[in-house]
Amino acid sequence: MLLRLAIRDVVLIERLDLDFAAGLTVLTGETGAGKSILLDSLGLALGARADSGLVRPGADQAVITAEFALAPDHAVAALLRDQGWRPEDTLVLRRVVTRDGRSRAFVDDQSASVGLLGQIGALLIEAHGQHDDRGLLNPAGHRDLLDAFAGHGDLLAAVRAAHGAHGKAAADLGQAEAGLAAARRDEEYLRHVVGELRHLAPEPGEEQRLAAERHTMQEGERAAGDLDEVAAMLDEYGGVEARLRGAQRRLERAAGRLGPLLEPALNALDRAALEAEEAVTALAAARSAIAYDERRLEIVEERLFALRAAARKHQVQPDALPGLAATLEARIAALDAGEGKVTALAAVLDGARRALQAACARLHEARVAAALRLDQGVNGELEALRLGKARFRTRIEPLGDGQWTADGADRVTFEVSTNPGAPFGALIKIASGGELARFILALKVVLAGAGTAPTMVFDEVDRGIGGAVADAVGDRLARLAERAQVLVVTHSPQVAARGRNHFRIAKDSDGETTRTQVTTLDPKARREEIARMLSGAEITTAARAAADALLKAAR
C-alpha cells in the first residue's frame, strides 16, 4: 500500500508531501490543474521513462520519493531478497531526474537500476487508464488472470509437473539419440577394428616373450659353433669326466700305501669330476635350447611384427592391444544396447506426452468453464456502466504441440465488441478511452482481486459519463477499495462522494510563477469541492444540498 509521496521540483510542483490511507482516495480539481503531474510523478518513482521536461523551470533536478507498506510475503520482498536486499516493513523508492535528462534510481537509499525499479513498481501498483498498455490490456497476462480468477492452482501444478517430466524425457531421449548417432557414425570402423583384433588375439606380455625368443634364436645361431667345439674338447679321449675318475682311482690305490697324505687330492678330483659332469650336462642343455629352427624363427618374427604393426596403427603399446580390443568391444556392445535404450526412452517420452496432454486437457476444460463465468460476470456489469450494447468474451485458443508451456496449451485473450454485430477484438484496439476505462473497471470488479496489486490507480475512469452511470462507477470503485487501496482521478461528484480520502489539486499563481497545490480535504471542504463539481464556479445552496445527498448516500 502507498503510504507517502514526496515530490520536489516537478513541472509546476515545487514541494509536495502527501500521506495516503487505505480504501478509496479521490483526486479532484479543475482541468489543467495538474492531476496528470501527480500521476506522472508517481510513475517516475515506479520506474517510468524519465523526461528532462518534468524538471521544474529554475531547478537543477526533480526528486520523487514513494513509500510503501510491504508485507513479508509480498512478491516484492522475494524479488528484493533475490537481488541481495533485506526488505523491511516499509519500502522507499526514489527517483532523481536532472536537468540534462539523466536519471538515477534508489531502493531504500541504495542505488538501483531503473529496470529493477520498474519490476518493483509493476508489483506494487496497477495503473489503469486510456493510455495504459500493461495489466488488463496486455494479452500476455490474460491467461494468468483467468487462472487466478478460477483458482486453478492445483491444475496448474499438475500441468507444470507433467511439463517438467515431459521436458526431462525429451532431453534424455535426445541425449541417447545423439550418442547413438555418434556411435553409429563409427560403427563400421569399430566392427572392422574389433574383427582385426579378434583375429590377431593379442595376449598380455606376448610381445616381450616373442622378442626374447627371437633374440635367443638369432644369437644362438652364431654361438652354436663355439658350443660344439667346447663339447668336442670335453669329449676328447673319452671325456674329461672319465679321465678325472680314472685319475681318482689311481690315487686311491696309492692312498692305500701313503695314507692321509693324498686325501686332499682325492677330494679335489672328486669335486672336479662332479663339476665336469654338471658342465657337460649344462652345455648339452644350452646347445639344445639354442637349436636354430628357421621355420620357428619365421613364425615368431611374423607374429612379433604383426603385434607391433597393430600397436603403431592404433597408437598404443603392444601390451595395450588386449585392453583396446576389450574397450572397442564394449563400445559395440553399448551401441547394440543403445538401440534398446532409445526405444525404451521413446516409450517413456510417449507416456510423458500423454500425461501432459491429459493434464492440459483438464486445465483447458476448467478454463473454458471459468471463461463462461467470467464473461457472464463482466457482461452483467456493462449495462450499469453505460456499455449495454457492448459484449465481452474470453477467447481460448489451443496452442500447437511445439508451443505448449508449463502453463498449459491455451492462449487466452480478453476481447470486446462495442456494438451488436461488430467484430470482437482486443480491448486496446476496439474500445475508446472512456469505454476502455469502464471495461477495465468491470473486469477488476469481477476478477475480485485476482492478480491485483496492493494499490490500483484509475485515471479519469468516469470520462464522458454522469448521473446514474457515474454513480455505478463510484460504487464499483468503492467495492474494489474494500480489497485494495484505490486512487482515482475523477471529474464526477458521484465518484468523489464515494472516497474515504479526498485530495483537491489546484493551480496557484502570484502573477509571475504558477504552482500546483494539493490540499487534503476535511469533511467540510469535501462538501464544498463536491458542490463545486456539481455547479461549477459559483457554488449554490442547491449544489451544497446535492453534495450532502451524495455524501450521505455514499456512507
Is 437 part of a structural domain of the chain? no
pLDDT tens-digit profile of 339-367? 888 889 999 999 999 999 999 999 999 99
Domain-embedded: residue 374: no
Interhelix angle for 433-447 vs 142-150, to 10°?
30
Looking at the 3D structure of the chain, how many domains does it have? 1
Mean pLDDT of 394-405: 90
User: What gap in Å lies between CA 44 and CA 39, rounded to an integer?
Assistant: 9
| pLDDT (0 to 100) of residue 238 | 64
**For the chain, what is the mean pLDDT?**
85
Query: Does a structural domain hold residue 386?
Result: no
Domain annotation covers residue 226 = yes
Three cell numbers written together for 519: 490540499
Burial class (CB in 10 A: 0-12, 13-18, 19+), 489: buried
CA atoms within 13 A on the CB side of 338: 20
What does the block give as the cell for 50?
524519465
Write out pLDDT tens, residues 59-109: 999 999 999 998 888 889 889 888 888 888 899 999 999 988 889 999 998
pLDDT in tens, 459-484: 877 777 778 888 888 888 998 888 88
Q: Give domain status of residue 203, yes or no.
A: yes
CA distance 334 to 446: 61
**CA Rg value for the chain:** 50
Burial class (CB in 10 A: 0-12, 13-18, 19+), 544: middle
Region 449-456: mean pLDDT is 72
Which residues constitute the domain of residue 290? 190-332
Kindly state whether residue 448 falls inside one of the protein's structural domains. Answer: no
Look at residue 185 and tell me whether its pLDDT is greater than 80.
no
pTM assigned to the model: 0.65
Residue type, 333: A
The verdict on residue 300 lying in a domain is yes
CA–CA distances in Å: residue 56 to residues 63, 152, 331, 521:
10, 49, 77, 26
Q: Is the pLDDT of residue 316 over 70?
A: yes
Q: What is the DSSP string of 173-241?
A: HHHHHHHHHHHHHTHHHHHHHHHHHHHH---TTHHHHHHHHHHHHHHHHHHHHHHHHHHHHHHGGG-HH
3 state DSSP class of 88:
coil
Q: Which of 181-185, 347-351, 421-425 has the lowest mean pLDDT?
A: 181-185
Q: Give the helix, strand, coil percentages of the chain, each rounded to 5.
A: 60, 20, 25
Query: How does strand 24-28 pair with strand 485-489?
Result: parallel
Q: Looking at residue 133, what is its pLDDT?
A: 44
Q: Which of 71-75, 250-254, 288-292 has the highest mean pLDDT?
A: 71-75
The pLDDT-based confidence of 493 (bands split at 50, 70, 90) is: very high
| Per-residue pLDDT at 263 | 81
Query: How far apart are alpha carbons 409 and 399 in whole angstroms?
Result: 5
The CA-to-CA distance between both ends of the chain, in Å, stands at 23
Q: What percent of the chain has pLDDT over 70?
A: 93
Do 400 and 421 form a contact (C-beta atoms < 8 A)?
Answer: no
Residue 62, domain member (yes or no)? no
